[in-house]
Amino acid sequence: MNQTVENILQNKYINKDDIQFLLSLDKEGSERLFRRGHEIKTTLAGRKVFFRGLIEYSNICTKNCFYCGIRMDNNRYKRYTMSDEEVLETAKYAHDNNFASIVIQSGEQSSKAFSKSIENLLREIHTKTKGELHITLSLGEQTEETYKQWYNAGAHRYLLRIEVSNPALYAKLHPGDKRHTYNARLEALSLLRKTGYQVGTGVMIGLPFQTVSDLADDLCFFRDFDIDMVGMGPYIEHEDTPFWAYRDLIPSAADRVDLSIKMVAILRIIMPDINIAATTAMQTLDPRGRELAIYAGANVIMPNLTPVKYRDNYLLYENKPNVKDQPDETRKALEKHILAEGDEIGYGEWGDSRHFKNRNGKIIRKS
């Protein structure tokens, strides 16, 4: 049988060849794909988008990833760590504005002092918000003991991006030393699942040396690992990184956005009950990038609540949008765009992964 969009979308199981075909669709075929992602999301969960207030806690990083602006050897930025008072005040803003959920993100650190600081913050946030503010962590590879420590202190989601699922491509993105191994990344994801977290991961789309086959493998990786939530978006080059030398090898901005929206739609189709983020990188390359992702199947947005004075020093990539906007400006702008598209915001709802609930048989509170 010849491959067509309609034939593939009628299949109960979509294989890698089918995914590659969908990723290569022309505009007309893409529109049918996006509609299908939209239909599945609407049928399953309604047209609801959940806010996760983003706190960029620290740009100190012990990793030297070749694509990342806050890599350890980049001396352009002033290194910072938010004070406990600043984090608590930002969490209070999220709670007062009924976000119900925050994300604490940082460069990768693994010292005992760092682990204890995060534990203390989690307990303080939990106490001050009476357990009403759900917390996602995105703090990199840690020991099983640390993951348990943070879980017991009140964090129940964790985002650890694999960045690419192809081990050979992963090796091109990182120094060849013990601090940057593909197997360590996989092991960390497994430890998170073992600990009990809702586990999130993600990839960059449109990297130098990356193929459509790699992207299809990424989507299969999410499914095979039985992931609960995904944050993925277009790769954006940064002049202070080694990968800047390969900027001529990346697709155009329009092509990267198109591929990213296709990835969202396909993922919604093959994993209909997970949480999928419409990432800031999509908006960086296209002013309507996040709205397009939401239409195609995304149901999470992470408004940046980091104090403005720190944002210029947390640039993972160039031209990050809204770095000067105050939290109220960011929230109101996102709310306006989401409502204009006919969606609603899940204020006061944790919006936990239905996939996690269905797999574990657990009752997800406040959702």
- Cβ atoms of residues 276 and 265 within 8 Å: no
**Residue boundaries of the structural domains of the chain:** 33-355
Predicted TM-score (pTM) of the model is: 0.95
Per residue in 92-117, pLDDT (tens digit) is 999 999 999 999 999 999 999 999 99
Strands 229-234 and 204-205: parallel
- Cβ atoms of residues 310 and 82 within 8 Å: yes
- Cβ atoms of residues 352 and 367 within 8 Å: yes
Q: What are 65's two structure tokens?
A: 């990833």
Domain 33-355 CATH class label: alpha beta
Mean pLDDT of all residues in 264-285: 96
CA 289 – CA 282 distance, rounded (Å): 5
Mean pLDDT of all residues in 85-95: 97
- % of the chain exceeding 90 in pLDDT: 87
- The pLDDT, as a whole number, for residue 364 is 44
Mean pLDDT of all residues in 328-344: 91
Per residue in 20-48, pLDDT (tens digit) is 999 999 999 999 999 999 999 999 878 89
- The pLDDT, as a whole number, for residue 360 is 81
CA 168 – CA 353 distance, rounded (Å): 31
Phi then psi for 316, rounded to 5 degrees? Answer: -65, -25
Lowest mean pLDDT among 99-113, 148-162, 271-285, 352-366: 352-366
Whole-angstrom CA distances from 234 to 112, 175, 321 are 34, 22, 14
- Give the helix/strand (H/E) hosting 275: strand 275-278
- Cβ atoms of residues 152 and 115 within 8 Å: no
Place of tokens 């130098």: 208
How does residue 2 score in pLDDT terms, banded at 50, 70 and 90?
A: low
Closest C-alpha to 135, from 109, 161, 102 = 102
